[in-house]
A and B are shown apart, each in its own frame.
Chain A
């Protein structure tokens, strides 16, 4: 079957670095995406990895290892506004399959 595993919640302090891991098991694989969703809001696209390695976009970076079926989202210089849910998603034969989401709480 298809499954994505990510931690349900993570807590960190302002200015810190946090890593949210995602492992996946799918019959097909075309890439790993990350989305952010603030409470009551729309999910917004953060990053996409189709190949192994690290992609950096400002304070956020995303990593993929296809051989390990594993990726992570790295958030640096955490700010209070980063408190949100973060979803990894895998494209599996044309469908986007989402993980259950990681609720990140940033404390002062």
Chain B
């Protein structure tokens, strides 16, 4: 496998459920990112990890909890989400958190009932 892989591609959950999104990159990159993309809105940066350390939390509500066990894997743990959290969640990676291009996964389309 190559590139950035996200699972699942689609997720429907109730507001009281707990679920996790997974991202895996096979590019040898050291930085990984979570973005939220809502309809008609720009991509919003959520979290940045560089060498497994979180370097950016863009004022994200605590119902979103990231985890980066190693440079190749990134998770987003979800609990008690709200309907407005329905969106496309994109994972990306880059060589480090500088000016290098970011490589994106296809995203997880999340729907909150």
CB neighbours of A48 from chain B (8 A): 99, 101
CB of B99 within 8 A of CB of A100, answer no
Q: Does A30 contact B (CB under 8 A)?
A: yes
B-binding residues in A (CB < 8 A): 4, 30-31, 33, 40-45, 48, 50, 87, 89, 91, 94-101
- The size of the chain B interface, using a CB distance under 8 A, is 22
A-B contact list, 9 entries, CB within 8 Å: A42-B90, A43-B43, A43-B104, A45-B101, A94-B97, A95-B45, A96-B45, A100-B41, A100-B42
CB neighbours of B92 from chain A (8 A): 43
A33 to B41, CA, bound (A): 18
Task: Tell me which residues from 74 to 99 in chain B have a Cβ below 8 Å from any Cβ of chain A.
Answer: 90, 92, 97, 99
Partner of B104, one of A31, A40, A42, A97: A42
CB of A41 within 8 A of CB of B58, answer no
CB neighbours of B40 from chain A (8 A): 100
CB of A94 within 8 A of CB of B104, answer no
CB neighbours of B45 from chain A (8 A): 95-97
CB of A44 within 8 A of CB of B48, answer no
CB of B99 within 8 A of CB of A91, answer yes
Q: Does B4 contact A (CB under 8 A)?
A: yes
Q: Which residue of B lies closest to A30 (CB)?
A: B99
CB neighbours of B48 from chain A (8 A): 94-95
A17 CB to nearest chain B CB (Å):
24
Q: Which residue of B lies closest to A43 (CB)?
A: B104
Q: A91-B99, A95-B48 given as contacts; is B42 within 8 A of A101 (CB)?
A: yes
CB of A33 within 8 A of CB of B43, answer no
B100 CB to nearest chain A CB (Å):
9
Q: Does B105 contact A (CB under 8 A)?
A: yes
A99 to B44, CA, bound (A): 10
B96-113: CB near A (< 8 Å → 1, else 0) gives 010101111111000000
CB of A95 within 8 A of CB of B101, answer no
CB of B99 within 8 A of CB of A50, answer yes
CB of A95 within 8 A of CB of B58, answer yes
CB neighbours of B16 from chain A (8 A): none
